[in-house]
Structure 1
C-alpha cells in the first residue's frame, strides 16, 4: 500500500508540470492574454519569429499601452487588435535584441541610488520624444492628470504581458514615476528588473534603459506645467478618499498575490 502511494505522488507532480507547460504563453492568444497573471514567469518569451521577420504583425491582445496617454487597467476589457511593434519603437532607431550592462549603450544621463537608476526632470523634458513613460500611481490620480504621453501601470500582474510576452527588436527607453517616485514606481521598477534578470544570463538584459523620474510627478508638474494633461491630484486628497482606499486595497492585494505565487513556484507547488 505504501509503495503504491509513493509512486502516485511523483506521477501527479509530473502531470501538474505538464499541465502548467501546456498553459504557458504559447497558447492561443484569445485565452492566454486574458490569463497572463495566472502563469507568471512560467517560461521565457519567444523571439525567433520576430527576429526572422521584424515587420510581421503580432497579435498579443490588449495593446492599449502602446498608445501614449492611456490606461491599461485590468478593469478595462479592450478588443483584441493587430499592431506593428516596430512602428511604436521606430523613433529610437537602435536595433538591438540584448543589452549588456557592461557594454553601456545610448543611455540617458542618470544617477544611481539603492540599485535604482534615476533621471532628473530636466533630462525627461529634453528627451521626452524618445522616452516611453509609465505612470505608477493609482487610477484616480492618473485620470485626474498625468505627464503627456504617459501610460498607466499600477497592477504588477500586467508587467509580464506588457514587457515580456513579446520582446521588441528596437530598444526602448523606459521611465517610471509615481507621486514622489519613492515607493510605487520603485516597486514596478524592481519587478521589471528582477523578471529581466530571471529571463536572462547576467549581465544580459532586455531592458537596460530603465529609469525612474526623480522626485516624481509632484515635482515635475511644478517645473513643467505645460507638459501635464489635466491637473495634479494628491494621493491623500480628501475629495478622493474613497477611491484611494479602494484602489490601494486592490493594489496591495495584487502585490501580496504575486509574492505568494513566487513562493509557491520556488517550492514547485
Structure 2
C-alpha cells in the first residue's frame, strides 16, 4: 500500500538497494514516460537529486533538478494541494545516496505537515541504478544526450563546494540503517 494506505502502488516495483523505499527499474520508468501507466496515474514528476552540473550535463527529459533539503521544502510548499494521483520518482547518479536521502526527507516533511495518515505525495519511488543505468539503456529519453559523472575531472571545485555544503545540510542527522523484513 502507498504511504497513506489508500491504495496499492501503481508501478511495478522491484527489490532495490534501499529496502525501505519502493524501487522501479529503468524499463518501468520508460513505460511511465511513454504513457504506459496513463490509466492508473494522473501524472508523474521525476526528481533528479544530482548536482546542477551533473543535471546540465544530461538528464531524463522533463526531470526537475532538486538537490537540497531547502529545495525539497519549497517543492512541498509549492505543491501542498495536490488532488490527483501524482507519483514522484527520485534518482541521483546511482540512486544509492542522494536520491534516497531526499525521498526520505520529503516523506518526513510531508508527514509533519499533514494529519496522519494523509500525505501530499503518498506514492514515491526510487529509480534503480540511477541516471547512469537509465542513460546506458535509454539515451533517447535524455537531454542533452550525455552523462556527466559526479566525480568528473572538470568539476573538482564544484564537488568540493557541494560536499562541504551538504555536510551542513545533513548536520544533526543520525546515520539511518533501514530495517528490512524479508518473507
Provide closer, same or farther for how the CA distance between residues 248 and 100 of structure 1 changes in structure 2, counting only shifts above 3 A. Answer: closer
Structure 2 equivalent of residue 84 of structure 1: none
Indicate whether 1:196 and 2:110 are aligned: yes
Answer with 1 or 2: which has the greater Rg.
1
Structure 1 equivalent of residue 20 of structure 2: 115
**TM-score, length of structure 2 as denominator length:** 0.79
1:236 to 135, 151, 162: 151
Structure 2 equivalent of residue 149 of structure 1: 62
List per-residue Cα deviations over 1:22-60 (Å, max 9, x = no partner): xxxxxxxxxxxxxxxxxxxxxxxxxxxxxxxxxxxxxxx
3-state SS, counterpart of residue 47 of structure 2? strand
Structure 1, unaligned stretches of length 5 or more?
1-98, 260-269
Pairwise CA distance, 1:127: 0.9
Pairwise CA distance, 1:171: 2.9
Q: 1:139, 1:247 within 8 Å by CA — same for their partners in 2?
A: no
Paired with 1:201 and 1:110, the residues of 2 have a C-alpha distance of: 27
3-state SS, counterpart of residue 197 of structure 1? helix
Paired with 2:167 and 2:53, the residues of 1 have a C-alpha distance of: 16
1:169-248 equivalences in 2 (<5 Å): 169-230=83-144, 231-248=146-163
Superposition CA RMSD, Å: 2.0
Indicate whether 1:124 and 2:1 are aligned: no
Paired with 2:107 and 2:11, the residues of 1 have a C-alpha distance of: 17
Provide closer, same or farther for how the CA distance between residues 115 and 143 of structure 1 changes in structure 2, counting only shifts above 3 A. Answer: same
Paired with 1:111 and 1:207, the residues of 2 have a C-alpha distance of: 20
Structure 2, unaligned stretches of length 5 or more?
36-42, 174-183
Pairwise CA distance, 1:236: 1.1
List per-residue Cα deviations over 1:105-124 (Å, max 9, x = no partner): 56211135421111111111
Q: 1:119, 1:213 within 8 Å by CA — same for their partners in 2?
A: yes
Structure 1 equivalent of residue 179 of structure 2: none
Larger relative contact order (CA 8 Å, sep ≥ 6):
2
More helix by share: 1
Provide closer, same or farther for how the CA distance between residues 140 and 100 of structure 1 changes in structure 2, counting only shifts above 3 A. Answer: closer
Paired with 1:115 and 1:106, the residues of 2 have a C-alpha distance of: 14
**TM-score, length of structure 1 as denominator length:** 0.55
